[in-house]
Amino acid sequence: MRATLDLGLPAMLQYGAYRLDLRTGWLRRRTPVRAWVDLPLAAWLRPGIAGDPQGYLAYRRGRPRLLAEATGERSAALSVALEASRPAVMTEADEILRGEFRLFGGPARRLGFPPDWGAFAAEPADSPPAHLDLDQHWTAYLVEPPPGDLKLLWEPSRFAWVFPLSSAYRLTGEDRYAEGCWRLIESWRAANRPNAGPHWASAQESAVRILALTFALHALEPWLAGEPARVAALAQMVAVHARRIPPTLGYARSLRNNHLVTEAVGLYTAGAAFPEFRQAARWRSLGRRWVIAALEEQILADGGHIQHSLNYHRQVLEAGLWAAHLAEIEGARLPGSTLQALRRAAELLGAVVDPATGQVPNLGANDGGRLLPAAGCGFADFRPTLQVAACLCGSGPLPPGPWDETAAWLGRSLDRRQPAHPPAEERSDFPAAGLYLAGGQENRGLFRCARFMHRPGHADQLHLELRWHGVALARDPGSYLYNAPPPWDNALAKAEAHNTVLVDGQEPMRRAGPFLWLDWAQARLLGRWGSPGGALEVLAGEHDGYDRLGVIHRRTVVRAGDDVWLVVDDLLGAGEHSARAVWQLPDAASPQLRGDALSLAVAGGYAVIQMEIPGDLFAGPVLHLGLHRAGARIAGESDSPPAETWGWWSPTYAVRQPALTLVGETRGALPMRILTWWTLGSHGQESLEVSWRTPGRGPAAAARLSFEGELLEIGA
């Protein structure tokens, strides 16, 4: 009942219908296992379209180009962009030909060339991989839990290797890169009959492959001009994958997330880019309809995305931008309301991105997915997506750089002097997304304070992200794995993995599955204030996730200049409770924890983090600090044993690296207050003068602040 209330009756009914279709065998009958040879291209084509490879190649030559051609003005722009990324492009392409693949945009892993398409990518790399046979109908793989995280099986089959190999081919003109790409595709075909095996279990995976196959068909066109049978095989694969999507589109609709957007874009691509298919009109209509509906529903009024994840935000934006690109080429632009939604999404992403690195906070679920990867920029660089958005929906362009690669592939150019729309007003508040920015480019905070209207992915209310000179100093540790034995069963989604406070060792929301939280903790921003000169900023918010315990968590965040941050956590209520304040930090050489202060060497300087309970206001409670690295306590003390998940962070999926976790624990009567000081440069705590309020009195913990001659008073 709680799930129905939180998720909505329509979504639950759609999900129930999908489960019924699985149990009754209807999906098995509608998607029968076939051999590729029994589904020849000619059977997919409209009357009048040549079905023989040579004739079909001639037909394709007359179709509009989706990507920059091998010659001409657009080719020259692509060559410039690829040349700027030459070292990165060539390194990754050569790795692939050696059988090393950068899964989820992470470090290269040895899988072999071609890989075993039934093997789970091992984690860690030296453990024996789990394996699945690929001969049963795809529904059979949904009956029993798989022997590993399915994403580790699916990732090589997403065909992300098409993009770096295509870039290397265009950059060098060497056939070995195109040949290598084809060998991988051919190997996958041989191992995966239509609808047989786990790679057909998710229609989203089919849609992702449609985009990669379509990209390969256009990017490798000069080489494919002499290979008509291979052109026919690529088109056949697109058609077979497109037919897999409609039977389970209702399931994607029930999810109301990136699955629906991606599957709709896959159908739209198969229909609009291949009008010669018999089912093209239906696929185009169905795909376009749901692309428009999903983008306009899922992109919020302030540009946020309903999944509360910046990486899923990028995936949805890339899917929408590809659809907008395709719509322009076919002469049927997406509606203005849809393009405005994409522009809003790009503007929010532009607001949170670090312009020097292209990185964003690792907020929410991060499955390592991308739809339009740029070989010249790493997975963590969001600038290629922003540059495409500037071309297609008029959001603010970036200066030229390696991040131009994706836009150049699409044949898009920027007129930076006259953008299509007036520059967007710089914003720091995104209330629908639950994101609030403070500070500037070199010293920036992101405060998480959301009123959930759609299911949250992480328990991250009042989480604070601090970035200092390009380094994520206080950060979200990511996701690591969705499905794994404890403690790594999506463990980083919990509140204890975020920069927030736990009460009585309990999570603020009820976990009902690896991707489902119930009894959502709701937050509200109590206010934000700034001094006239801009040296002082204050944000305050609270959440009700511990209302069942009679406790409200209220947080006040203070920025003073470029060097000082103060975080005040008030626990309001009555009775005695325990509190655990957690801070996720980067790894650092020789961290020093002395008393209540931790010193870290980061970003070419020193950061000092001090946690305390103000003794002048609260006599009695003692704060015990512990510093953890890679699951072990390395300094300090704690009232509870260290969690195995502390002291780790995951920059992308299935990648886990040592980090630091600072934990402060105490127990006492409420109200309770915990201070965390961050001094990052020349100024110390003494430079900020604070007049305190009693916890619960007024919207913020401070009534008056003074810093370097600037004064800020906060009314009650």
**CA-based nearest residue to 706, from 682, 691, 685, 689:** 689
Sign of CA dihedral 15, 21, 24, 27: negative
Cα angle, residue 416 at apex, residues 415 and 420 outer, rounded to 5°: 65
Q: Quick count: other Cβ atoms within 10 Å of Cβ 578?
A: 18
Residue 552: phi and psi, rounded to 5, are: -115, 130
Helix (DSSP H) and strand (DSSP E) numbers for the chain? 20, 27
d(CA 349, CA 343): 10
Nearest to 151 by CA among 482, 449, 411: 482
pTM for the model stands at 0.95
Q: At what angle do helices 310-329 and 258-272 cross, to 10 degrees?
A: 20
Q: Per-residue confidence at 126, pLDDT binned at 50, 70, 90?
A: low
For every residue of 237-278, which 3-state class applies, written as one string? HHHHHHHHCHHHHHHHHHHCCHHHHHHHHHHHHHHHCCCCEC
Q: First and final CA of the chain: distance in angstroms? A: 40
Distances in Å between the alpha carbon of 213 and those of 59, 143, 282, 454?
A: 18, 30, 20, 33
Listing DSSP states for 168-219 in one string gives: HHHHH--HHHHHHHHHHHHHHHHH--TTBSGGGS-HHHHHHHHHHHHHHHHH
pLDDT tens profile 332-345: 999 999 999 999 99
Query: What is the rounded CA–CA span in Å between residue 28 and residue 142?
Result: 12
- pLDDT band per the 50, 70, 90 thresholds, residue 268: very high
Q: Is the pLDDT of residue 238 over 90?
A: yes
Can you point out the beta strands (E) in 461-562?
A: 464-468, 471-474, 501-503, 510-513, 516-518, 523-530, 536-543, 551-560
Q: What is the pLDDT of residue 421?
A: 57
In this prediction, residue 515 has a pLDDT band, given cuts at 50, 70 and 90, of: confident
Strands 657-658 and 536-543, bridge-based pairing = unpaired
Secondary structure element (H or E) that encloses residue 608, with its range: strand 605-612
Cβ–Cβ < 8 Å for 269, 277: no
pLDDT given at position 406: 95
Mean pLDDT along residues 527-534: 96
Q: Around Cβ 624, how many Cβ atoms within 10 Å? A: 17
Q: What would the two tokens of residue 405 be?
A: 């690669």
Q: What is the mean pLDDT of residues 390-416?
A: 86
- Averaged over 198-211, what is the pLDDT? 98
What the chain holds in terms of domains, given with CATH numbers, is 2-409 (1.50.10.100), 434-713 (2.70.98.70)
pLDDT value of position 587: 96
Concatenated DSSP letters of 545-604: TTGGGTEEEEEEEEEETTTEEEEEEEEEESSEEEEEEEEEE---SS-EEETTEEEEEETT
Integer angstrom CA distances of residue 219 from 169, 192, 241, 345, 403: 9, 24, 20, 28, 18
- What is the model's pLDDT at position 7? 63
Mean pLDDT of all residues in 604-628: 86
Between vectors from CA 500 to CA 573 and to CA 582, what angle results, nearest 5°?
115
Mean pLDDT of 459-484: 95
How far is the C-alpha of 442 from the C-alpha of 697, rounded, in Å? Answer: 33
pLDDT value at 16 more than 70: yes
**Residue 193 in contact with residue 36, Cβ under 8 Å?**
yes
**Is the pLDDT at 493 greater than 90, yes or no?**
yes
- Read off the pLDDT band of 229 (50, 70, 90): very high
pLDDT band at residue 417 under the 50/70/90 scheme = very low
Q: Which letter does DSSP use for residue 386 in this model?
A: H
Rounded distance between C-alpha atoms, residue 89 and residue 97, angstroms: 13
- Percent pLDDT > 70 in the chain is 96
Q: Examine the pLDDT at 50 and tell me if it is beyond 50.
A: yes
Q: How far apart are the C-alpha atoms of 530 and 381, rounded to whole Å?
A: 31
Mean pLDDT for all residues in the chain: 93
For residue 416, what pLDDT band results from cuts at 50, 70 and 90?
very low
Closest CA to 475 of 233, 678, 298, 225: 678
Mean pLDDT across 643-650: 95
Mind listing the pLDDT tens digit for each residue in 547-596? Answer: 999 999 999 999 999 999 999 999 999 999 999 999 999 999 999 999 99
Whether 418 has a pLDDT exceeding 50, the answer reads: no
Q: How far apart are CA 204 and CA 266, in angstroms?
A: 8
- Asked whether the beta carbons of 592 and 598 are under 8 A apart, the reply is yes
Tens-place pLDDT, residues 76-117? 889 999 999 999 999 999 999 999 999 999 999 999 999 999
C-alpha angle 40-41-46 in degrees, rounded to nearest 5:
125
